[in-house]
Structure 1
């Protein structure tokens, strides 16, 4: 009995000393006021979330039946002015009319939305009793529709309530939002799969966003026929977004190294760090990009290539929508937000524009050269997928190899020669660094810690690529 009592005593001592987080203890018997984790600093779990996806040529024709099945009485259809005159929107509206679905169209979405354009869409969404939302377009349209749905469903919320900290208050979305169906027309953002909505916050001249699983579309209708209407440079820039989504999520800080450990699962961010499930999606997306992206850009009638890139966008979206992105995206936001005069080819907009995918990929050689020492095997694997021979490459050379591989890839697709080619100079670096600092939601997922001086060097190295 003495031995048994000793064992019981030791177990109780261990229980009192142990971490109280769910990763290390059975807390089901404790009361509501039980102590939270004071030992574990980093997370111990990850959660996979994604929209339902339906893929197929001509699948857009089914949307009217979907809305009818939902019992929709008044649908808000969001798009932009250019798309409002193109086949994807026509196909959606024809299906709605055929199935007797009542709708109103908002076609004033801004390419690369701002806080002002978000607020205009939100005002429209609040102007009527919409019970379902439909987004037809690229990431700008889908993100705008997510925000409009969120704030129409929470009419008393202040605009900054749900915007990511430190720019906004970063409050969790606890109330219900209305169903949203996304019909993506570009092969890049993966927004049809994610709970993220990105916009330019004009007071700071930097991008930020809203990140919550609650705002992800309930369904993404991925119809590859819609990608045939993309101009060459739109296809290229959209594809670069897929490339960086895949590379960044695959090389992101592992989920079990991300801090802090949430005390409640509602506080676990959508971007959680690389994890075994996201890795599968990200790696596969990279393979598809390597095989099909150049074909998809060079030949708009290559349905196989454009269809494959449409799916790659979904694959990468599921990957990064749960793992997150890091420095390329964090640094891209001030690049897009501080644009001066650059006119983007292939985009029907009147305002200066550095398209999102372009703003992301211009720093990619410098960024992955910088992050490679933290996980050289993953960087070498990415370089090999993109065509490099890495059989004799040493681990310490992984950064140089992946950077050179990316430069060759970008050169073959005739990408602008660095930040200088889109209107920036070394004098702009302090402003670009300042605009990157608030992007902690993504920059903290970099596998390598970085200072303001590091960011300055990365921007400087990205002024010229070739």
Structure 2
């Protein structure tokens, strides 16, 4: 380690260690016990009495993983008895090998008409969604195909939903409290998702994220009905991905894994739904999601630095692509929390505020890529969540250190000091990838922090899964969010 790097690490560790007090009001010396939950979370499913959840449900798309499997998509749609296919992509992917393979496969099948929508916007907005929905409604497709990153797949999910719900308004299904958050009770059309980035895991989940420009933050729709019928995970499809996109997408995998693994346990979520159809897709950590999330975390910490150094590292690209799908299964059933919750206003407000444009993205508008916006608060968030489950965070720390939680160098750290070490480990990892060092580095000022807090507070579907906020009586998180954003200003 260079003298400068060493000095930066020491300064960060000193700063982090000043804030190691447990955020939970129920903390006591020698252990950590949350208060009993006696309140009903805002906008959750109404029930007669507030009861904790007692069950979790696992749902994920079918996945096919392999070299060149995009060539099978035409046969898949033919086997599904498609009569007209709506194909979604973006202007960049439309020119590249993944889309060419998909179109060749579709064209090889007789009597399989299809139309292509190649105007999907990176980091889609409500307007771009409305345009895609209007196009899909005009054609009334029997099946959908998405070839692209999370923006493309999420846009195709929305187009599918509102083709079936022809008279519905966009905000009927947008998550409450931003929208009505209505349940999806109709069967949607089959959707095949072909990811071209190792990032969102959208090929496995029922989540679709959109930038609500009128409110300057992101939110979305989260429902199992949205998940693709099949995710075709083709290792060839990330070959043309630029290094900055590899890094940002990989950061999304990293924090999907971390957040879902450290979310409140599903048994702590309230209230219990009055009907199974009302059980949310994001349920809290659970034994099945844990396995997928932790494996994805290990793979991402190991292979993302390799891809960042050499995007032609075939083994690393393959493992990251598989990790993205694994993380999707993990967070698609457990949920994400604070990093994602705060990322939505960080991205949304950028268009009116800092107007930061991340290098390596071929767009003509300001953009903080999703993975980068999530990572900016990562060190502070996991310092905050460490007291909720020292054992899990000790395992997380061990992954970043390339060892196990039983290693004396990890096991000997007192619980009271663990958060500072987790902070430093994540910050050092991000440094190695060249991630902007905090909100200041993307153009925000300290005067913007109250605005970022206000943009985070409506993200209840994820905040309610955050330990120290989602499991505390009467907490909306304002004070904690302010402190985390302040700690994320620079490091």
TM-score, length of structure 2 as denominator length: 0.86
Structure showing greater radius of gyration is 1
CA contact (8 A) 2:50 2:270 kept: no
1:273-318 deviations in Å (ceiling 9; x for gaps)? 0001100000100111122111122111111100100000001000
Highest RCO, 1 vs 2 (Cα 8 Å, sep ≥ 6): 2
Residues of 1 paired with 2:310 and 2:114: CA distance? 36
Correspondence for 1:344 among 358, 369, 392: 358
Moved more, 395-404 or 191-200: 395-404
In the TM superposition, structure 1's runs of 4+ consecutive aligned residues that sit over 3 Å from their partners are 36-40
Whether the aligned pair in 1 keeps the contact of 2:257 and 2:330 (CA below 8 Å) is yes
Give distance in 1, aligned partners of 2:198 and 2:176: 29
Work out the CA distance in 1 between the residues paired with 2:156 and 2:203.
Answer: 11
Which of 371, 377, 397 is matched with 1:383 structurally?
397
Conservation of the 8 A alpha-carbon contact between 1:290 and 1:387: no
TM-score by structure 1 length? 0.91
How many angstroms does 1:391 deviate by?
Answer: 2.9
The structural deviation recorded for 1:39 is: 5.4
Query: Aligned match of 2:266 in 243, 251, 255?
Result: 255
Among 358, 369, 372, which residue is 1:355 paired with? 369
Residues matched between the structures, number: 430
Task: After TM superposition, give the deviation of residue 228 of structure 1 in Å.
Answer: 1.1
2:325 corresponds to 1:305 = no
Structure 1 residue 129: Cα displacement: 2.4
Partner of 2:486: 460
Contact 1:369 1:403 in 2 (8 A): yes
Alpha-carbon distance in structure 1 between the residues aligned to 2:293 and 2:339: 16
3-state DSSP class of the match of 1:197?
strand
| Residue 126 of structure 2: aligned partner | 115
The 2-side partners of 1:334 and 1:37 are apart by 31
Three-state SS of the structure 2 residue aligned to 1:427 is: helix
Match of 2:174 in 1: 163
Shift of 1:177: 0.8
**CA deviation digits over 1:30-61, x for unaligned, max 9?**
xxxxxx97556210000000000000000000
- In the aligned structure 2, how far is the partner of 1:211 from the partner of 1:296? 30
Gaps of 5+ in 1: 1-35
| Equivalent pair of 2:289/2:330 in contact (CA under 8 Å) | yes
- In the alignment, structure 2 segments of 5+ residues that lack a partner are 1-45, 403-408, 470-474
- What is the Cα deviation at residue 365 of structure 1? 0.2
1:322-333 alignment runs, 5 A limit: 322-333=333-344
Compare 456-465 and 189-198 and name the one that shifted more. 456-465
Q: Which among 246, 252, 258 is matched to residue 241 of structure 1?
A: 252
- From 118, 134, 138, give the equivalent of 2:145: 134
**What SS does the aligned partner of 1:390 have?**
helix
